[in-house]
Every structure is written in structure tokens, then in C-alpha cells.
Chains A and B, each alone.
Chain A
Amino acid sequence: MAGKRLETTRNPQIAKAPTYIGGLDDILYGGLPVGRTTMVSGGPGCGKSIMGMQFIFNGAQHGQPGMFISFEEPVTAIRQNAATIGIDFPAAEAAGNVFLYAPPINRKINKSGDFDLGGLMAIIEGQSKAMNARRLVLDGIDVLLRYYDDVAREREELYFLNDWLRAKNLTTILTVKLPPNETSVERYDFLDYMTDCVIHLDQRVIDQITTRRLRINKYRGSGHGRNEYPFIVSRNGLNLVPVSSITLKHQKMGAFISSGNDQLDEVLGGGYRRGSCVLVSGTTGSGKTTVAATFADAACRRGERVLYIDFEESEEAMIETMRSPGIDLQPHLEAEQLMFLTTMPEARGAEEHLVEAYTAIETFQPRHVVVDAISACSRMGGEQVAFEYVVRLIYACKERSITCLLTNQTAGFQNVSEISGIGISSVVDTLLFLRLVNSTGEINRLLTVVKSRGTKHSNQYREFLITDTGFELKNVYSGEGGVLTGVARRVQETRDELDLRRTEMEIRYKEQALERHRTMLDSDHDRLQADVEAMKLELERLKLEYHIAAQARELRRQMRGGDKNDNDNSAFFNDLMRGEDDAR
């Protein structure tokens, strides 16, 4: 982070005072403007005071003494609130690095004639000289300003205070309370122009889950991150989710790594790519978790750590479920190759989930992260929130060259890379689609690779079988060229209707071939016998191939829900078969 911060600070004339708040300095390109005033605005309870406290306390820890003057709550309350986020103000006060001050503000003060903020300025100046303060927070300046029942005088006095503070070279935060759900109040709009840096915090409740956002509205003389950044208030205070921030430096996709299944590796054209994002999409019960667990199991066997974020079931239930397809994750867990993060999505806001995931990534240092399933993320507070959670997590993984395997439950083929309408396909490198097909009373699983960046993958459907030793892919087509170019047919036992029909036809053709052999043997045309036989067999083979292709196309069309008349070759095929029958 430090390296990135230096790299993005391109403006040498602006000195920065680091806030040392997780992620904030990154988007401030170093910190707040030294000797200038920053306004932090936001509704009640959205974290303004906490940001101020951290700015003062962290500064004091780094040799920058500071004053925290609150017009909103008494000093005892400030100390208590600070203690909940791990800030020990009494110790810093005793060391002389922090000065807390909270003069009571009585709005019913008697007034007679004009007055100014001379007392406050005298206190700031006197105290800052006494302790050599470099930083100042005026928390709830709007409360103080209510002394003037006069907007023009408020403005005049604040301008005066601002100029004065600048002359004193104090790096200052003014916090201003805004009514909930408002981004600005006309009365204090001028503060936006007056101050050098404007940070807005807000807190929204979406689907009963609290979401906090931070935005830098302005930073005079400096670049800054332009997005809205989610943040949480954790035990360590404000914590920004530091991704999708300044520069997204994704690592290139790495070497092939096994999906844990040879057949799938072959279909993928070699496997997944290290550091890529793999999305396993599919309907419920189609085998997504099995694919994910197979990958995790193989990675752990290679000695690579896997973080498994499970929103669907508990760690115990997940391990137990995977025993059925013969995947035993328990030893990896015990060997600390595998770490589970299991929480109910609705248990907390997306930012907290993200921070939890980041913390796990930082401490556990996994090579691969599995999220099962991102579709559950919408329960964190809506689709947009889920989208952001997923995208930010993917970016965090990409930045660290961590392979990311996500599962996603979908209703059909149309939205394989969507969480109920919000597409993440642009950030997905490999997309597998699993689905259940109902054919003549049987439920079968099918898998296809919809896309896979940087690999020469097959895009054919394959039957996907969950066995007691993982899963197995049945080749719909196979042959001399392998799966990629396969044309001939591999006979295999299957309960799949398609395979059944295939087998039936195979038997029929074998019988016919045998019959022809007998006829030919009876004839005198020994010389032509071999040729005729070969030609007929070749013709049969071609017809069979055609039939299989038509069947597969029909199946694909059904899966896509497409029009039946689209590319309908059945009539031609029927003619062909009739011709065959007539010939006989």
C-alpha cells in the first residue's frame, strides 16, 4: 500500500498529512492537505467523529500532536467512544500529545449585539503553542455556528476562522452534520468552496442492512479517488474497502492449474489459469459445489492454501456433503491448507463481509479463494451490494494473483454470469455452466465451458456425472483428435436418453453391417467385397455423426429455450433414414 501511495502522489507542492486510516490515504493520494482545512460532512452517526478521532490519535502516534475539540459531546463520552475503537485517549493526553476539549454549547445563550469566535481562536492558538499541535479537529462546527442565528454572519465568521487556521498552519478537519439522506445543506454549501478538501460520508439502509459510503467531493491541488468507497466502522475504527481504488494493477493470468479433474482440464484446454477468475454457474443441485470442492481439494493436495468462503452451509455440513462424492476436505482443514469462512450473508453488511474476507486473505495468505455462492450475496443487502462485494473481492484476488473460483446459482442459461440481473461477466475469465436436463423422466447433469480466456477450450456440452470419487465428464463427442476436434463416437453406457438412442442406433447399424457382410460373403464379388463394405460403413458412420450432431443441436436449442424451427434438420435426417430403409 505504501508503495502505491507514493506512486500516485504526483503533486509535489501539496504536502499531505496521512490519516493512517485503513484505505483512506490511498484514495486521498497520501492524506489530507497539510496546513489546510478539510470538511467532513455526513448525517448523524455515519462516522465523522470517529474519522476525526483517528486523525488526531493516529497523528499523535506519529509525532503530530493534535487537538480534538467537540461541540457535540462531553469529553468523557469522547473517551468512551474512542475506547470502543481501540483508541486510548487518556494515555495520549497524559503524554501531552492529544488535547480533548468539549465546551458545552448552550443555544439559549443571551445575546446582545455582534460577537466573533475570538475565544475559540485564542484557545486553539494558546493550546496549540503549549503542546506544539499540528492537527486540529473541530467536531460539529455547525453546532457552534448556531450561536449566530444569521446565515450571513455564520459564513463570515467561518471564512475568518478558516483563513486564520491556514495562517496557523494547522491541518484541520471540520465536521458538519447533515440531515440523514442528504448530501448537502444549502446553509453550508459555502463550506464546499471554502475548504480545500471535502469528504462526504453517508449511511444508507438498504434491505435492512446498513451500508456506509465515503466520497471525496473535492481536493484542491491534488488528485483523489473518484468513486464512492464502502467503509465499515470496526473495532479498529474506520476501515475503507481499498479496492477498485486508484489503479487496478491486475497480474497477468498465470500458468495452467488443474481444476482437480483431468477430464475437465482437457475440456478447458489445460485447466484454469492461476490468478484468474472462474465462475461456475448453474441451477440448483447441478454440482457447482462439487466442482468447487474438487478444485479446493486438488489445490490443497498441491500444498496451496485455499480460502473457502461459504454462504450456503456450515463448515461441518459442507465437509460432510462432500464426502458423498468422495472428497475429504477434513485433512486439509487440519493441515491448515484450507480455511473456511462461513457466515450468513444477512448477518452483516457487505463491507463487513469484505473486510472479513480481506482480513482472512491477508492473514491466511491463500493461493486460491472459493466463494460458494455469490448468488447468496444479494442477501447482504440487495443486488447492487452483492455485485460490489463480488467485484471488489475479485479485484482484491486479482491484485494478489489469487485464483478466484465463484459459484453462482442461476435459474437458466440466460443469466449464467448474473446475480439476478447484474452482470459480472466482464471480470470473469472462465465460465462453466452446469445444468440439469430432464429427459424422459430422468434428471441428468450437463456441463459446458461458456468461455475461457487464454485457453483453447471446447465449447461442447458434456454429461457431468457425480460419482463416489468426484465427478466425471462424459464425452458427447470424442475421437482421434481428442475432445477438441473429435468427430467419431465413443460408445459408453449411460442412462442419458441421448446416449441410449445412440446405443440403440449403434446396435442397429452393427446388425445391418453384419447382415451386409453375410450377403456379400454369399456373392461372387469377392473383389468388391471389401470396398463395398468400407464404403457402406463410412456412409453409416457419417449418418450417425449427423444424427448425433442434430441431437446435440436440438438439446442445445432446448437449453437456450430457442425456437424449434431454428436450424431444424430433423426433416432432412428423416429423409435420409427413409432413403436408407427404401434402399433396403
Chain B
Amino acid sequence: MHDSHIKPKQQTFEAEYVFQLYVAGDSANSTQALHAFTKLCEEHFSGRFRLDVIDVLQDYRQALDNHILVTPTLLRIYPLPQIRVAGNLSDEEQVLSLVRG
């Protein structure tokens, strides 16, 4: 598993975009989603985002409480409304249009 659970840490409250990415260990889909979405954020929301990566294998209660049945699942927490995207986020254009809302 990747060690970057929260990144970048310094932009805690100023972030324009807050995301949660639920992954299941280092499964293929999860690894792919993490790479793809980190890249996307750096490119399009640089300095304006916060991304929490939650491994459901480590913390099932998070999955339980947020009804995360499929992994990977991306949640846009902020801005509202919440947006939920399931999948390995391989299609950058599609993901971008979804999370920009």
C-alpha cells in the first residue's frame, strides 16, 4: 500500500476541492485509481485540493458508514453536492468533467 494517505497535508482548510478515495489494499483497480486521480489532481487542482485515501481493508467502518460497497470509489466531499464515482478512474476526461460538476 502506498504511504501517501493524506496529501498534500498543508492545505487542510483552504482546499477548494475535498476528495475521499476508497481503495481496497493494493488491488489492481485501486492502485490504478490512486495513480490516475493523484495525477489528475496535481494537474488540474494543484494547490487547491485535499485528497484522503482510505483503505477499506484497514478501516472497514469507514466503508460501512459511507456505504462503500465497490472499490475503488471516489467521493467529492466538497464542493457540495457530494459526487460519487466508482471505478479505476482510467478515463481522465470523464473523471474531470464529473468532479468539476
Contacts and interface: CB of A to CB of B under 8 A. Distances in A.
B60 A125 contact: yes
Interface string B75-94: 00000000111111111001
B85 A118 contact: no
Nearest to B95: A112
A254 interface: no
A117 B70 contact: yes
A128 to B, nearest CB: 10
Contact of B86 (A103, A109, A123): A109
Contact of A112 (B23, B25, B30, B98): B98
A112 B90 contact: yes
B69 interface: yes
Contacts of A147: 69-70, 86
B65 to A, nearest CB: 10
Interface of A: 101, 103-106, 109-123, 125-127, 144, 147
A106 B68 CA distance: 12
A115 B24 CA distance: 10
Contacts of A104: 67
A103 B67 contact: yes
B57 to A, nearest CB: 5
B87 A119 contact: no
A110 B67 contact: no
14 contacts: A109-B86, A112-B87, A113-B32, A116-B24, A116-B71, A118-B56, A119-B22, A122-B24, A122-B57, A123-B69, A126-B61, A126-B63, A147-B70, A147-B86
A110 B97 CA distance: 11
B29 interface: yes
> Which interface class (under 10, 10 to 19, 20 to 34, 35 or more) fits B?
20 to 34
B83 to A, nearest CB: 7
Contacts of B25: 118
Most buried by B among A101, A113, A120, A127: A113
Contact of A109 (B61, B64, B84, B94): B84
A126 B58 CA distance: 9
A147 B71 CA distance: 12
A384 B85 CA distance: 53
A225 to B, nearest CB: 35
Nearest to A110: B85
B95 A115 contact: no
B27 A118 contact: yes
B67 to A, nearest CB: 4
Contacts of B51: none
Contacts of A116: 24, 27, 29, 70-71
A72 to B, nearest CB: 14
B40 to A, nearest CB: 11
Contact of A127 (B64, B68, B71, B91): B64
B70 A110 contact: no
A144 B86 CA distance: 13
A118 B88 CA distance: 12
A126 B64 CA distance: 9
Given A113-B29, A125-B60, A126-B64, A119 B85 contact: no
A122 B32 contact: no
Contacts of A127: 60, 64
B88 A123 contact: no
Contacts of B83: 110
List the 10 closest A-B pairs by CB distance, nearest first.
A126-B60, A118-B24, A118-B71, A113-B88, A113-B87, A103-B67, A122-B56, A113-B90, A119-B68, A112-B87
B86 to A, nearest CB: 5
Contacts of A106: 84
A118 B62 CA distance: 13
B33 interface: yes
Contact of B70 (A101, A112, A115, A126): A115
A118 B30 contact: yes
A428 B88 CA distance: 69
A114 B24 contact: no
A110 B86 contact: yes
A148 B70 CA distance: 10
A125 B58 CA distance: 11
A209 to B, nearest CB: 40
A116 B86 CA distance: 9
B69 A117 contact: yes
